[in-house]
Amino acid sequence: MQYNPTILEHFKNPKNQGEISNPDGVGKAGNPVCGDVMQVFIKVKDGRIEDIKFQTLGCGVAIAASSVLTEIVKGKTVDEAAKITKADIIEELGGQKKVPPEKIHCSLLAEDALKKAIEEYRQKH
């Protein structure tokens, strides 16, 4: 399987990979069929996502989707971040035609993990 340059770049050099100590929200998503598991950590200050990190165990597209998600979300308000969709992530990965169809579900995990992290943040605040 050949990935486009954007996916390869984010897979080889993922942005914001790691964990945040004392996060304001943590979201975890997984797909039992493919085995991908993703965790997203957010830190919020004055209603904006000041920091976001991820840990992903999965394929190249899952890691790339996590990396791209963090770049899209960082600096946005919590409400803006909550509106991020799978389509937004796929677009940042090069678009529908550039992401292998059998890997589209990986971007859904990134969206799910983010939504769960935001949900946890909102429950705390």
* Span 3-55, pLDDT tens digits: 899 999 999 999 999 999 999 999 999 987 778 899 999 999 999 999 999 99
Going by pLDDT thresholds of 50, 70 and 90, the confidence category of residue 96 is confident
Which one is catalytic: 6, 15, 17, 34? 34
- 106 noted as active-site residue: yes
- The pTM of this model reads 0.92
The total of structural domains in the chain comes to 1
CB-based burial of residue 38 (10 Å sphere; 0-12 exposed, 13-18 middle, 19+ buried)?
A: buried
| pLDDT over 80 (residue 122) | yes
Domain interval for residue 87: 5-124
* CATH number assigned to the domain comprising residue 45: 3.90.1010.10
Give me the catalytic one of 38, 44, 73, 106.
Answer: 106
27: left (phi over 0), alpha (psi -120 to 50) or beta: beta
Dihedral of CA atoms 59, 65, 67, 68 in degrees, nearest 10, equals 150
> Between these two residues, 14 and 99, which has the higher pLDDT value?
14
Count Cβ atoms within 10 A of the Cβ of residue 51 and give its class: 0-12 exposed, 13-18 middle, 19 or more buried.
middle
**pLDDT above 90 as % of the chain:** 78
59 is catalytic: no
pLDDT at 1: 63
